[in-house]
Structure 1
Amino acid sequence: MAFAVGGYLAWTTVRDTRLFTIVRVSVFSYAIVTGVVYNVLLRNIPSEGYEPPAWCNESTHVWVPVVIVLEWLFSSGRISLRIRAMWWALLYPLAWVAFTVIRGMITGWWPYPFLEPDGPNGVGGVVAYILGIATFMAINAFIALIIARTWAKLRKQPLHP
């Protein structure tokens, strides 16, 4: 969806809106987390039930994140935002985690082994993973904003609130 909106905005405007820049910062952060979490924590875990095609997993968890990062690094149009905008990138993932934990407690089903409180790492491990991934996500959003600010300085753009 972000790519479709981005394509439309690229054809119709010179600069991204504040909201769309925040969405792009978030997508940048999510893409990096997706790639790292999959490749570090999930790649070699056997699937229980459905096994997606290998090309699908590789493209979703490796190549799409690479393309998104490259797009952020080299695309034009983004605006410079204040660093505090990085916190918006945590809104959706934290809501997802809250929903997932509540659903998991009700159904006993957990989408990832590192979220399972009855797993080998226990509740403390789940909390540590959530905090670690959220911190990593915030750092990625911070990096995205620094990149945007650097490009804006090179183009002599003002800082947006």
Structure 2
Amino acid sequence: MLYLGHLTMLLLTGRVRRSAKKLVWFFLICCSCASAQTRLEEGGHELQVWTGGGHSVPGGTSDTSLWNIGLRYGWILTTPHGPGFLKGRFEYALDVIPAFLVFQPANTSYGAGFNPFDLKWNFATRGSIVPYAELSGGFLVTNHNVP
């Protein structure tokens, strides 16, 4: 499966599609306000609500899509350090995933998960966008087998 950082609209119809569009617009408006936030500081905290989705790709598991939503809480552990463009801050975070849906031809699987291991390097930039590299691991429990 190809995992995309946006909500897939392939399986959504009618009222659900309109609600999803309203939710996407709400998040876009909130993101425009987020640029006024202060930079991450050592000892600081990060609170994030996220959503994602994806669908099958040629050669992958066919006719399968997914959607999830989660909450992240992170701790900034260091001040900016490192050489040149690699300069950044180290962060540790926890993810709680209360809803993970996998739309399969046979059924829809409902699940939840937890990522207790999330290491993140936030690159130090001068702009309002902060690129990062991340390594995380956890578990997912569903009511049906998923690919």
Question: What TM-score, normalized by structure 2, do the two folds share?
Answer: 0.24
Structure number with higher strand proportion: 2
